Amino acid sequence: MYVIGTAGHVDHGKSTLVKALTDIDPDRFPEEKAREMTIDLGFAWMNLPSGREVSIVDVPGHERFIKNMLAGVGAIDLALLIVAADESVMAQTLEHIAILNILQITRGLVVITKTDLVDEEMVELVKAEVEDAMEGTSFEGCPMVGVSAYSGDGMGDLKATMDSILDETEVRKDLGRPRLPIDRCFTISGFGTVVTGTLIDGTLTVGQEVELAGSGQKARVRGLQSHKTKVNATDPGVRLAVNLSGLSKDEVERGEILTIPGWLKPTYRLDARLRMVKNAPNPLKHNQGVTFHLFTSEASARVRLLDADRLAAGEEGWVQLLLSDPLPVVKGDFFVIRSAKNTLGGGQIVDPNPRRRYKRFDDSVIERMMTLDQGTGGDIIISVAEQWGPCNITTLSQRTNLPREEVSQRVSQLTKDGHIVTLGDFGTDSDAVVYSAQGWDILKSKVASALQLYHTQYPLRQGVPAQEIRSRLDLSQPVYQRALVRLVDESIVVDERQSLRLPDHEITLTEKMEEEASAYLNSLQKDPYSPSADAKVSQELLSVLIDQGKVVRVADGVIFAASAYKEMTDRIVEHLKAQGSITVADARTMFDSSRKYILPLMEHLDQQQITRRNGDERVLR
């Protein structure tokens, strides 16, 4: 299904034409009917001669209601530029052409209305003036049809031309990320909250959980209607009414984006390519305040010019937009900026979530933005991975504006070519992520540097606690585990289960340390089953002796020489095999030791699953 939008100067017959085409009056408010002037968006639908059903969005033409016009044309497939034969090109005709050109709406049809009020020569003159106005825009060369909504002249030709244009218009792709920019919200008795808009980028189904991307509030789809007909599911590119459960009318406003939870988050900062309209009244200055319009939303914004000091009429430049209120935006979205009275320009988002404010006139920044804007799908994936790695497939699809299937295919090839490092399988692993080759090298360097620093600070420790490295890298546990496997495979680290070390790290004791260790071990051996509390050694050296297996710590403050621990364990096991059970008192007698040492030993054997406590006795497991 396609959505058609009107455009043109006030009183040029847009609403009258829509009513003549559809037999639906798009003017909904009494004030509009009384003043005979469209104030807000109107909606209708019709079947073309081919049987194709289309939606129509009628927009206001008065300069005071430009923001309402902008809310209606952001997601249309075909624009009908309405020009009255008795007035020709007017101020809002030019402004609407400029807006449609900014939004890159390439499918256009000029409708010369009120042909019954002038002669044929005047109609041809108006067409010539419209051609001049459209020169150099996305509408240049589009077909023109003259009609009279009152007499019906030309209406058949108009419908046939609309049909032929839509025959060559590509349907919207299902990118698996539905977005419904909300243009109306109301309540229906017995049903509750209903929102309307044009669905883009994905599908919605009855019963599905949805989210308002701006506020984060959740709801569920209670029902769907398209052209007052109930449907259970929809494809992208349809006008849709969505009955929501779990939200009141007061919690929803025009400008919100209805979508599925978890992928689309509002942003205060946007990178974009901006083009000024050719009749902009004044140059755009660095840090100038503007009004930012995207689909049905608007916000105050400040424009940071990245490669120029100012942009004059018709000029282009790279910018970063700083929004006063965060908006949910996707790479590739088109936007418009305005001053209080004039449309200044607009463009296309190349990065909806840049990490920081850039230094101006930085060639590397401009090069990255050009890659995001004009590069191949592979180039864009690499660029996104460099800035946002590790990226999962959802993040890559969102930030590259590519379908998930294409992302998966390209990542596979980029991995083979060595441009991307993939951790996991995108086909089967929901936690799979990618790094750019450069990003992976940086991560390896960080890990190696962290380990080397730790080994320098603590030369007697086996390695760095594994979770400390994860914390330093700021990775989720699933991503960290996948990264660790590859780091081990590439011989960057050695995994000692609870700790990590560099492959060449060895614990080397100085002569003084060797003497201290030997003295400590000798003191433990003097009374092996009841080692003296006077036997002392530094914690670092004790850790080394434990790692080397020379001593065994069974509890805080209770340490046995490894030979004594083995002998005690073997004798207890032999006793259990012969007698079936043993008590702490039995063990005390066996080793002529005290409860201070024997109880911790028995509890340690329980923990090691050698024995199991049964009341006051222990038995073999």
Q: Cα separation of 371 and 63, whole Å?
A: 37
- Strand ranges, E, within 227-315: 229-231, 239-245, 257-259, 266-276, 284-285, 288-294, 297-305, 310-311
Query: What is the pLDDT averaged over residues 81-89?
Result: 95
Do 58 and 42 contact (CB within 8 A), yes or no?
yes
Model pLDDT, residue 34: 67
Say yes or no to pLDDT of 390 above 80: yes
CATH number of this structure's domain 266-365: 2.40.30.10
HSE, side-chain direction, 13 A CA sphere, residue 130: 32
Q: Rounded to whole angstroms, what are the CA distances from 620 to 262, 575, 602?
A: 52, 10, 12
- Strand ranges, E, within 190-264: 192-198, 209-212, 218-226, 229-231, 239-245, 257-259
Q: pLDDT band for position 82 (50/70/90)?
A: very high
Do 226 and 183 contact (CB within 8 A), yes or no?
no
What DSSP state is assigned to residue 359?
P
Query: What is the pLDDT averaged over residues 53-60?
Result: 90
Q: Cα separation of 494 and 507, whole Å?
A: 14
CATH architecture of the domain covering 2-167: 3-Layer(aba) Sandwich (3.40)
Do 154 and 146 contact (CB within 8 A), yes or no?
yes
Say yes or no to pLDDT of 216 above 70: yes
Q: Cα separation of 545 and 47, whole Å?
A: 85
Residue type, 583: T
- Give residue limits of the domains in the chain: 2-167, 179-259, 266-365, 375-508, 511-620
Model pLDDT, residue 264: 86
Say yes or no to pLDDT of 494 above 80: yes
- Strand ranges, E, within 295-361: 297-305, 310-311, 316-328, 334-338, 343-351
Q: Rounded to whole angstroms, what are the CA distances from 283 to 92, 278, 314?
A: 21, 11, 10
Which stretches within 153-310 are classed as H helix?
155-167
Average pLDDT value for the chain:
89
- CATH C-level class of 179-259: mainly beta
Q: pLDDT band for position 252 (50/70/90)?
A: very high
Do 162 and 220 contact (CB within 8 A), yes or no?
no
Nearest CA to 199 out of 296, 337, 336 is that of 296
Q: Cα separation of 189 and 176, whole Å?
A: 32
- Looking at the DSSP bridge assignments, the partners of residue 396 are none
Q: Tell me: the pLDDT tens digits for 307-350?
A: 999 999 999 999 999 999 999 998 889 999 999 889 999 999 99
Q: Tell me: the pLDDT tens digits for 8-31?
A: 998 898 999 999 999 998 887 777
Q: Cα separation of 167 and 171, whole Å?
A: 10
State the DSSP string of 491-548: TS-EE-SSEEE-TT------HHHHHHHHHHHHHHHHSTTS--TT----HHHHHHHHHT
Q: Tell me: the pLDDT tens digits for 134-143?
A: 999 999 999 9
Asked whether the domain spanning 511-620 has the same topology as the one spanning 375-508, the reply is yes
State the DSSP string of 240-253: EEEEEES--GGG--
Q: Cα separation of 493 and 486, whole Å?
A: 9
Q: Cα separation of 93 and 560, whole Å?
A: 92
- CATH C-level class of 375-508: mainly alpha
Q: Cα separation of 2 and 237, whole Å?
A: 6
Of the chain, the end-to-end C-alpha distance in Å amounts to 71
Q: Rounded to whole angstroms, what are the CA distances from 461 to 384, 445, 548?
A: 39, 21, 11
Regarding beta strands 53-58 and 2-8, do their DSSP bridges make them parallel or antiparallel, or are they unpaired? Answer: parallel
What DSSP state is assigned to residue 27?
-
Residue 177 or 17, more confident: 17
Model pLDDT, residue 32: 65
Q: Cα separation of 189 and 169, whole Å?
A: 39
Q: Could you please state the CATH topology (level 3) that the domain comprising 511-620 is classified under.
A: Arc Repressor Mutant, subunit A (1.10.10)
Say yes or no to pLDDT of 295 above 80: yes
Give me 552's structure tokens.
């065994």
Residues 6+ apart with CB under 8 A from 171: 2, 235, 236, 237
Say which range, 206-220, 354-368, 555-569, has the weakest mean pLDDT: 354-368
Query: What is the pLDDT averaged over residues 597-601?
Result: 91
512's torsion region: left (phi>0), alpha (psi -120 to 50) or beta? alpha
Say which range, 253-257, 499-503, 541-545, has the weakest mean pLDDT: 541-545
Say yes or no to pLDDT of 36 above 70: no
